[in-house]
Amino acid sequence: MTNESARLTARTRTASGKGAARQLRRSGQLPAVVYGRRDDAESLALDTHELSRLLSRIHAATTVIDLEVDGGEPRPVLIREIQRHPYRPQLLHVDFFEIRADVKIRVSVPLHLLETPAGVEVGGILQHLRHEIEVECLPNEIPSAFTIDVSELEIGDSLNVSDVDTGGVDVVDDEGLTICTVVPPAVEEVEEEEELEEVEQVEGEAAAEATEAEAEEG
């Protein structure tokens, strides 16, 4: 399933620096840049609420956005980076990458696991090791996500990148990379219990020896 395009408006930004960026944010706007097809990156300003609403309904890394700057013709872009405040729910900056409809690009597509593995039903543990894979395709072919049915995985089974049905989209990542695996139940817990028993035994022996030594001294 490929993504649908989204739309966003922006204006050219001339002021730069941290002070100008803070002032922009206080006014409800967000500093941004767009790069890719032109020689120099362009500094932009966006409406923060408009971008937040857009981000709430798309997968930012794989959705092609029609970016309209200063009322001009929409330009297809992808979001390459979003900077957020470290402890407040606040957007700080966004980077856009301008693309061409006839040129392939590389994007990371999320992986969604469906169903419960058979091995988990009998006590196994599902380990999800890889949550996205990198692909190369035309912008209008970018998948929104890849879904994988893991219901038939038994304990000891695993799925690799090569097992993903990408619908003909070229995969960049090593196809031997493991996406998920079902491991035996409670292996670590048993080992921890054995280690704890050994520690308690050693401590008990040490305490007994100390008591005997005190008795001999007395």
pLDDT tens per residue across span 72-110: 999 999 999 999 999 888 999 999 999 999 999 999 999
pLDDT for res 121 = 95
On whether the CB atoms of residues 140 and 64 are closer than 8 A, the answer is yes
CB 125 within 8 A of CB 182: yes
Question: Which pTM was predicted?
Answer: 0.73
State the pLDDT at residue 36: 84
What is the overall mean pLDDT for the chain? 87
CATH fold of 105-183 reads RNA Polymerase Alpha Subunit; Chain A, domain 2 (2.170.120)
Quickly list DSSP for 63-130: --EEEEETT---EEEEEEEEEE-SSSS-EEEEEEEE--TTS-EEEEEEEEEES--HHHHTT-EEEE--
pLDDT at residue 213, as a whole number: 47
What's the alpha-carbon Rg for the chain, to the nearest Å?
27
| pLDDT tens series, the chain, 218 aa | 556 569 999 999 988 788 888 999 999 999 999 998 767 889 999 999 999 999 999 988 899 999 999 999 999 999 999 999 998 889 999 999 999 999 999 999 999 999 999 999 999 999 999 999 999 999 999 999 999 999 999 999 999 999 999 998 999 999 999 999 999 987 555 555 666 666 566 555 555 555 554 545 54
Give me the CATH code for the 6-98 domain, please: 2.40.240.10
